[in-house]
Amino acid sequence: MRILGIPVPFTGEGKKDLSPVNPNRGGWFRILERFSGAWQQNIEVDYNSVLSFHADFACRTLIASDISKLRVKLVQKDDNGIWTEVTNPAYSPVLRKPNHFQNRIQFFEAWVLSKLQRGNTYVLKQRDGAGTVRALYILDPLRVKPLVSDDGSIFYELNTDELSGLPSRVIVPAREIIHDRFNCMFHPLVGMSPIFAGGLAAMQGLAIQSNSTKFFENGAQPGGVLSAPGAISDDTAARLKEYWDNNFTGKNAGKVAVVGDGLKYEAMAAKANDSQLIEQLKWSAEVVCSVYHVPPYKIGVGQLPSYNNVQALNVEYYSQCLQKHIEDIEICLDEGLGMNGVNIGTEFDLDGLLRMDSVTQMQVLKDAAGILSPNEMRAKLDKKPKTGGDSPMLQQQNYSLEALAKRDAQEDPFGSPSTPTPAPADGEAANDNAEAEARAALVEIYKGLR
């Protein structure tokens, strides 16, 4: 039986030992704590809960959506060393439509989300009979296990995934998988999600939100203690507590309570302003932003920078957060699709991300005169080309370096040029010749008379 051209079960092409990758291999079992002593204190960071924290959710979806909306270009270097967008039947179809159930935006969004949430993205290649990659499938990272043979060769164990064309468990060589990973702190084949560093802050934020929810469900009234001047039995205490909970908490909070026998109610829980609730919640969100390298204002946390330069803000966001992920994907696609990356490769179109405001855009195009032709400038604005606009233009007073070099080679480059004698017109030259011939004839006649 063969799946995607690979025999099942695959035994590693004759390799004797396939050991699962374990970042703890070769020493004591490592416990990855969020802070020292968390394990002993039974403080656990729940992965699924962290995914629901608003700041973590916003950072992941922002990065994934910003990268997925960029168009992937197939570019080739020409004889002048210039990268130009081209089409190629071996690569262009799979870049436009990676598989039968995802378009390119959905595909790259799933790629980035898998990398951010689990630290690893596994992409399975589907080839045709000629060995050309015709489809790419994002795999569930929890169903993939990297393996290393005794000679250092890398394989991947893939569990059943019908959507990706895997009806049963299979082991494939590394050449059939595109593995994008980052934060490989414990093993070069095992990536780590930013949740490892920001999970505790996310759990704190969720605890603040949960406490606030309970607080407002109680009518924004803090909990407290009913105290009596003397001793009371346990039955009496239980009865009073049940009576108070049923009549003066939740929807009934704020009602007038009439108590006797010296009973007194005293609030015990800290109020929101006492615990600096808003500041703590903002701090936890900022910590999550820092581990994803996302500027807090991008997800509505903190103030927007005061200076009015959209392009500068986007360039900062690109260089600090997105550039690493974008270039990782480009290199993985180049190697995974069999491109050399030297003469042909993939490149994300960043114009949609680093788009300038209209005033700055027009100023940049104006300053590009002489470098870009008018039609190239018009193309930047989605305008049709005009006749005569295919060549860059400069003003007449501009001279080439070669012409200036010839001028400077003269003895007196800045001296006044001599005024040349104007050449006679054709008619004037003919008249001058006729007059000269007449004068010569008169001279001959005069000599004969003598």
18 SS3 class: strand
- Structure pTM? 0.70
> What residues have CB less than 8 Å from 247, skipping those under 6 apart?
255, 257
> Can you give the pLDDT at residue 281?
85
Could you tell me which of 156, 159, 154, 161 has the C-alpha nearest to residue 145? 156
C-alpha distances in Å from residue 57, one per residue of 299, 310, 422: 10, 24, 82
Question: Which residues are bridge partners to 124 per DSSP?
Answer: 137, 177
- Please indicate whether residue 212 or residue 288 has the higher confidence score (pLDDT): 288
> Can you give the pLDDT at residue 277?
73
How far apart are alpha carbons 164 and 167 in whole angstroms? Answer: 9
267 SS3 class: strand
Q: Position 187: which residue type?
A: H
Read off the tokens for 383: 């305008």
First-residue to last-residue Cα distance in the chain: 128
Mean pLDDT lowest for which of 51-55, 283-287, 405-409? 405-409
347 SS3 class: strand
- Could you tell me what percent of the chain has a pLDDT over 90? 38
For residue 159, name the pLDDT band (cuts at 50, 70, 90): very high
- How many beta carbons lie within 10 A of that of residue 322, not counting itself? 22
For residue 188, name the pLDDT band (cuts at 50, 70, 90): very high
> Can you give the pLDDT at residue 418?
60
- How many beta carbons lie within 10 A of that of residue 20, not counting itself? 10
Q: Residue 417: is its pLDDT beyond 70?
A: no
Quote the distance between the C-alpha of residue 279 and its chain's center. 29
How far apart are alpha carbons 205 and 22 in whole angstroms? Answer: 32
